[in-house]
Amino acid sequence: MNKLLKPSKLDLDPNSTSSASEWKHWHRSLECYVEDVEASATEEERERLDKLKVLTNSVSHQISSYIEKCESYEGVVERLKEIFVKKPNQIFARHKLANQ
């Protein structure tokens, strides 16, 4: 297990303008860390690896309140994606395009 790949705690403001890019970077860092752990683990350790616990341990207490009802790793990832990756406002985007 490479401790250098371990992601920092996820502590983002969902209303930040950079939250989507920061979330994507953090999520990719987490995936790289989990892949590295799986690659260096024995078969028995791979079976016991709980990605949900790794993810839960890697978020701040503010973020954990958003995901406390999720029961699977995939559910937590989807919930966090909903929170941090906002759909662009098409009306505002059209307004900006029209007024350039």
Give the residues of the chain that fall short of pLDDT 70: 1-2
- pLDDT value at position 86? 86
- pLDDT value at position 94? 87
Q: What residues contact residue 83 under an 8 Å CB cut-off, 6+ apart?
A: 14, 66
- pLDDT value at position 29? 94
d(CA 63, CA 61): 5
- pLDDT value at position 1? 56
- pLDDT value at position 96? 84
- pLDDT value at position 5? 81
What is the separation of C-alpha 57 from the centre of its chain, rounded to a whole number of angstroms? 12
Q: Tokens standing for 3?
A: 């401790």
Q: What residues contact residue 37 under an 8 Å CB cut-off, 6+ apart?
A: 1, 49, 54
Contact 11, 62 (CB under 8 A): yes
